[in-house]
Amino acid sequence: MKELMSTEQLLQGLKHYRRIARQDLLRAPETPHPEAFRLHAEARRALYAGLEQRASAEGPQEAVDFALEQYRALPFTTGTAEHEHPETKGRENGLENFFLMIGLDPKTRREARNARPKLSALEGNVG
């Protein structure tokens, strides 16, 4: 990762991403899968708000560490239909946007991605 952003820069970037998610919420009814699109946008928006709170209270590095922890815990949804698992896909998309914004080292992102569980493994443990 490049030099870590200041708290103010991080908050400004997250606020921008939250606005985009809000715009997506407004256009959800116009999409082929309105409910899934809405849930995806809401998941991103909630993620950005949580990262804003973390950055404000604890600082940028703690927000990054939290985001990486959240990313490692997300199951892979690759291969599922576009409208399936919208909350998980929204969080994944939001975290990946965040990593791009902060200039996270590709190796760090790849290592976190490789630690993620498979969706089928999680579904098999439910019950």
Q: What is the model's pLDDT at position 78?
A: 87
CA distance 38 to 30: 11
Please say if the pLDDT value at position 127 is more than 60.
no
The confidence score (pLDDT) of residue 2 equals: 54
d(CA 114, CA 17): 25
- Kindly report, residue by residue over 26-66, the tens digit of the pLDDT: 999 999 999 999 999 999 999 999 999 999 999 999 999 99
pLDDT, residue 125, reads 47
Note the pLDDT of residue 43: 98
